[in-house]
Structure 1
Amino acid sequence: MSENTTNLSDDTLNNANEGVDKAIDKVSDKTNEVVNKTKDAFDSAKDKASELADDASEKLNEFTDTAKETYSDAKEKASEFANEAGEKLDELTDVAKEKASHLAEEAKETYTETKAKAKEFADEANEKIGEFAGDAKEKASKFADAAEDKLEDLAEDAKETYTEAKEKTKGFFQKLFGKK
């Protein structure tokens, strides 16, 4: 009879240990999942911001090249007509400067707008990542608290079962061998 009681106590403790191991595995899996999702969201936001910055730089270079070409073309045309009409030269040069200035201003505005959009996107992504991480942390904390409560209940149940088995065994032996 004593051996059966010991086996029952060992089984109860083994079941409690298995429950603890399963709970730890679940918490670890959920934590890893949250970390991976957060990392993926951050990487995606970083890639998108980098892509927007590259696009803005490319557009700025295109506008700059166009402005240079326009200015260069206008200056060349003005040189051809320089001998015939000095006033025409001044007029074309002024037009070219105005066009170049206008294109440069457009390029600057486009770059500024793109940069602002990229920053806004990055800020929104960071905010969403922060919210996601906060929610994940809160859920993980709630899960950990629930797991801790469950583990405490399992431990308490195991202790009660062990105590009951011990008392029953003690009572059995006292009846069998007499009270001491």
Structure 2
Amino acid sequence: IVSWNSDRTLQRGYHVASVSALAIIGYIFLLATENVGVRYAGAVLVACGIYPIIPLTLSWVSNNNLGHTKRGVAIASTSLCGQCFSMLGTQIYKTEDGPRYVRGHAVCLVFMILAGISAMTLRILLKRENDRRDKEYGVSDSIDLSEDVDSEERLYEKNPKFRYAL
């Protein structure tokens, strides 16, 4: 639902920040109580917050990097960074910390807060750049990036008609 709405509204930053907030609430539930029901609800919120971030982030990266090579490298780099955090996860959830895993949940909580802040910061910066381009070049209606257009006309992100996905 989140990805669908993100595509319909052409907004990525708000959606990444909102699902990050869901995960943050979930981690707070996991850290704040020993009540099994509340902790279970927290785990559900964490899952509902974390899983949509992956397609949202990859589509945001894809939307803002034009050209086959640049887009491919950007998506691969983003995926690589995500997998590095998966390796970190295997080290922060230690058996001796169970069953509450306070250290692991606290580290993940901090990273989710950073994810939400980063998404909104990036959105603000991209919005500023789009506004600057609108002021300098006029409001853009569309950009033709088809392969049959002369490469100098395309220029990808440097094209005056290009606007970043927010």
Report if TM-score (shorter chain) is over 0.5. no
**TM-score using structure 1 length:** 0.32
Larger fraction in helix: 1
Which of the pair has the greater relative contact order for Cα pairs under 8 Å at 6+ separation?
1
**TM-score using structure 2 length:** 0.34
